[in-house]
Amino acid sequence: MSAAGTQVQRHALVTGASRGIGYVIAQRLLEQGVRVTILGRGTQSLQQAVEKLAQFGEVGFVSANITEQADVRKAFALAVERFGVIDILVNNAGQAVSERFDRLDEAAWNKMIAVNLTGTFHCIQAALPGMLAQKWGRIVNVASTAGLVGYAYVSAYCAAKHGVIGLTRSLALETAKKGVTVNAVCPGYTETDLVQEALDNIMKKTGMTNDQAKSKLAEGNPQGRLVQPAEVADAVVWLCQPGASAVNGQSIPVDGGEVMAG
């Protein structure tokens, strides 16, 4: 992957990349010739992911809790020591809690904000100085359609993802003339372990089968299906290309048409 026509091997750091969407993003970036560092919390799962990803290119991992700023800075420093400045940051790590609002406790609220919003803040602050120094960088926040509209029973998650969209837009304006673009990709319900947890919750409460629950979630997608991780990954990788240099501050839904910009 090159910038402005100059062949430069870039270094990308992808959070939450030991599985699901993050793993496929890492694979797609490796296929583009990018060096990739994946970040997560479980060392064993990260090591297993790296062993599988190594066939696609140069890849390593660092372990950190993104809700802890000192932890993030230490992990990012190790990544830079291995592969050089972080040119591309993909904030993919996230969690969702489903609960009726009047039953949502403060601990669950704080966890959703910490993981989905504050963690994104920590990672951007760790990576941005290097991007600004070289006057080139790509930040892609994997948000959610929950950052664009509301969904019942996931108020804390929606609030956090709306915060990620706001952060994306504000930072994009600050860096617009500094060679760094900041965008968000907003998947609808995507066939991942996170959505399987939602399916399990639906089955538990309604008695539906897994296929019935999946069909229920897919009803919101005009295409009548769940989004695939590779479809989200391809949108992320496109935003990292030189040809996407004019795309900045955008929140791009990948949802079959469920959410349309007005």
Confidence of residue 193 (pLDDT cuts 50, 70, 90): confident
**Domain presence at residue 4:** no
What's the confidence (pLDDT) of residue 4?
39
Confidence of residue 169 (pLDDT cuts 50, 70, 90): very high
**Domain presence at residue 234:** yes
Same domain, residue pair 216 and 118: no
What is the secondary structure of the chain as a DSSP string? --BTTB----EEEEES-SSHHHHHHHHHHHHTT-EEEEEES-HHHHHHHHHHHGGGS-EEEEE--TT-HHHHHHHHHHHHHHH-S--EEEE---------GGG--HHHHHHHHIIIIIHHHHHHHHHHHHHHHHT-EEEEEE--GGGTS--TT-HHHHHHHHHHHHHHHHHHHHHTTTTEEEEEEEE-SBSSHHHHHHHHHHHHHH---HHHHHHHHHTTSTTSSPBPHHHHHHHHHHHTSGGGTT--S-EEEESTTSS---
**Domain presence at residue 1:** no
**Domain presence at residue 5:** no
What's the confidence (pLDDT) of residue 201?
72
Same domain, residue pair 81 and 161: yes
The answer to whether residue 7 scores a pLDDT higher than 80 is: no
* Containing structural domain, residue 234: 11-188+227-254
Same domain, residue pair 195 and 179: no
Same domain, residue pair 106 and 49: yes
Domain count, the chain: 2
Same domain, residue pair 72 and 138: yes
Q: Which of 34-38, 193-197, 219-223 has the highest mean pLDDT?
A: 34-38
Confidence of residue 103 (pLDDT cuts 50, 70, 90): very high
What's the confidence (pLDDT) of residue 195?
73
Confidence of residue 262 (pLDDT cuts 50, 70, 90): low
**Domain presence at residue 6:** no
**Domain presence at residue 259:** no
Whose CA is closest to 158, among 89, 109, 90? 109
Same domain, residue pair 222 and 233: no
Measured in whole angstroms, the distance separating CA 44 from the mean position of its chain's CA atoms is 21
Q: What is the CATH number of the domain that holds 177?
A: 3.40.50.720
Same domain, residue pair 26 and 46: yes
CA dihedral 98, 101, 103, 107 (to 10 degrees): 70
Same domain, residue pair 22 and 42: yes
**Domain presence at residue 79:** yes
Share of the chain above pLDDT 70, in %: 95
Measured in whole angstroms, the distance separating CA 90 from the mean position of its chain's CA atoms is 6
Could you tell me which residues come within 8 angstroms of residue 193 by beta carbon, excluding any fewer than 6 positions away?
Answer: 19, 20
Same domain, residue pair 234 and 204: no
Same domain, residue pair 179 and 209: no
Mean pLDDT (whole number) for 216-225: 86
**Domain presence at residue 203:** yes
Dump pLDDT digits (tens) for 89-100.
Answer: 999 999 998 899
Catalytic (active site) residue 23: no
The answer to whether residue 66 scores a pLDDT higher than 70 is: yes
Dump pLDDT digits (tens) for 11-27.
Answer: 999 999 999 999 999 99
Q: Which member of 151, 153, 157, 189 is catalytic?
A: 157
Give the pTM. 0.92
Same domain, residue pair 244 and 129: yes
Same domain, residue pair 100 and 218: no
